[in-house]
Structure 1
């Protein structure tokens, strides 16, 4: 088993988008939205304008579309944990993922290629604290001091040139519906989660598939299709967000590995049911 790094996934998706001839503009966001019964007028941050049948806000946890179209939206709230992520050399003989739930800092290792391994660790986060990349490698080595086995090998062999990221965790879910007229939210813009079920990106992909399905229904007003999409997605995404936040809360309270593992297992089994 293994995973895939986001930049690699992005390149695969970008190649497909380019092959389909879909125009893509980078480096801009939305400054204004004006909606009527037939479409949405958009003013972009570079001063250009456009009119569209549907606007999909898939622009992340700090969504600009959400801020403009949903002024009463729920704001993301920090959970009290932070996540460390490190991409480094894969140790010889590493042939399966490893998870450690018994330590105060839950951690794990995933293979991401023949020569690459991905380490994650969850630690308590002090509000307002932030680490520079220069500080992060040394701090992570200290956080890994108690570990043996493969985690110790990574600690002792990681370099300051390895990609590293430290980020406070935050979560929220917007109330149903995630739409107003012809404007709709998708992914973290609608339901930002923590990584405890490793399902954030998966939920966003599912959103896109369901949205496409609903928009393909012939003879139905666009606004009705968008509401149908939101109704299909809400309970499943709420489950991911609320279970993930509950796991993090249990970890901060010192829950046992058995308790944490049980809650994660129940959450994942619910996701595996027919949908």
Structure 2
């Protein structure tokens, strides 16, 4: 394996950044990860994952760890608020005939799996540290860090998320994240025996669901329309979330409601306004390239935000492997990623618009089906 970049800095130690470190180390290049959080923490409850994500895990080499610590199953059950079963959406087995087509895991657990793999890869990880300046020159990028050190790199990868400092530095003219008009609530609850796979109850204006994240836990999610992007006092989380579940008479939903009232803060309730971002290409300037949420943050309607960020890392490493120049590799990366990432961001946003407007359910179903089919294609 050869690469035109032999010394690479990744700014941001989230899912995309860690995946890039893991894949790039397979090329034998030197990799540093600069992560601003000294605890390298990942916040949040559960994260739902489709077959394309599990396929990416297999490429990274972490699929077995996911299957051990998360939960995987085939299909997604759709139900009405009172519990009547409507349909079971198929989830193709993209990671292999012996691997279920989807699943979920606690975000901190997945972050730990990726962090362990990053360290095991031999990448150098600098915690509590980020950049203060990027100065490009003919042979690379000189980076000054918050700890007072300076380094020179053949390539810098910005993977520092939706509110990326690298993006602001590199592309000050770029669009800003846009609030979608929806928010999502998540909580962690005990997993009843009857919850074997993802289940969703679809109401007129609110959608709720559960997904197993381990052998004994599941996460609850509720999507709510909210015109204004406002902060909410965490002290109100339990009451607000349980109120949203009142119209869902299905026994399991009412069981979840009772558990939330009993558990309170122990349910780890998370409230998140849904924002999206799609930066026009090119996603690089010289020898600095952006991946993941820095350039294509999506709402969770297709459960594919983490997927396309991790895929970015895999494709970037693939394009660097054997390329004659860094510019050639970055052009190849962007050409392979644009349509897939655009599709996920725009289709997810459209699903949210339909839900807010109470629009055409047939269009909603067509978009979901078409997106699932496209995600099944190789990257």
Matches of 1:261 and 1:101 in 2, distance apart? Answer: 13
Large movers: runs of 4+ above 6 Å: none
Equivalent residue of 2:213, what SS? Answer: strand
Mapping of residues 114-133 of structure 1, within 5 Å: 114-133=215-234
1:33 aligns with 2:134: yes
Q: Is residue 88–residue 117 contact of structure 1 (8 Å, CA) maintained in 2?
A: yes
Provide the residue aligned with 2:251 in structure 1.
149
Q: Is residue 97–residue 110 contact of structure 1 (8 Å, CA) maintained in 2?
A: yes
State the shift of 1:125 in Å.
2.1
Matches of 1:192 and 1:11 in 2, distance apart? Answer: 22
TM-score normalised to structure 2 length: 0.69
Matches of 1:29 and 1:203 in 2, distance apart? Answer: 24
Q: Which range is displaced more, 125-134 or 111-120? A: 125-134
Provide the residue aligned with 2:202 in structure 1.
101
Matches of 2:361 and 2:242 in 1, distance apart? Answer: 23
State the shift of 1:257 in Å.
4.6
Matches of 2:133 and 2:174 in 1, distance apart? Answer: 17
Equivalent residue of 1:113, what SS? Answer: coil
1:72 aligns with 2:173: yes
Q: Which range is displaced more, 128-137 or 244-253? A: 128-137
Equivalent residue of 2:252, what SS? Answer: helix
Q: Deviations over 1:91-125 (max 9, x none)?
A: 23221210123331112110001111011111112
Question: Which of 286, 290, 294 is residue 189 of structure 1 equivalent to?
Answer: 294
Matches of 2:361 and 2:186 in 1, distance apart? Answer: 21
1:113 aligns with 2:217: no
Provide the residue aligned with 1:45 in structure 2.
146
Q: Is residue 195–residue 211 contact of structure 2 (8 Å, CA) maintained in 1?
A: no
Question: Which of 240, 246, 249 is residue 350 of structure 2 equivalent to?
Answer: 246
State the shift of 1:30 in Å.
2.2
Report the aligned-residue RMSD.
1.5
How many residues are paired up?
Answer: 274
Q: Is residue 177–residue 231 contact of structure 1 (8 Å, CA) maintained in 2?
A: no
Equivalent residue of 1:67, what SS? Answer: helix
- Which of the pair has the greater relative contact order for Cα pairs under 8 Å at 6+ separation? 2
Unaligned runs of 5+ in 2: 1-72, 74-102
Matches of 1:30 and 1:205 in 2, distance apart? Answer: 23
Name the CA shift for 1:175/1:121 in 2 (closer, same or farther; >3 Å): same
Mapping of residues 201-212 of structure 1, within 5 Å: 201-212=306-317
Q: Which range is displaced more, 17-26 or 167-176? A: 17-26
Matches of 2:374 and 2:133 in 1, distance apart? Answer: 39
TM-score normalised to structure 1 length: 0.95
Q: Deviations over 1:203-242 (max 9, x none)?
A: 0111000000111124x11122112111110110000000
Unaligned runs of 5+ in 1: none
1:230 aligns with 2:334: yes
Matches of 1:274 and 1:183 in 2, distance apart? Answer: 26
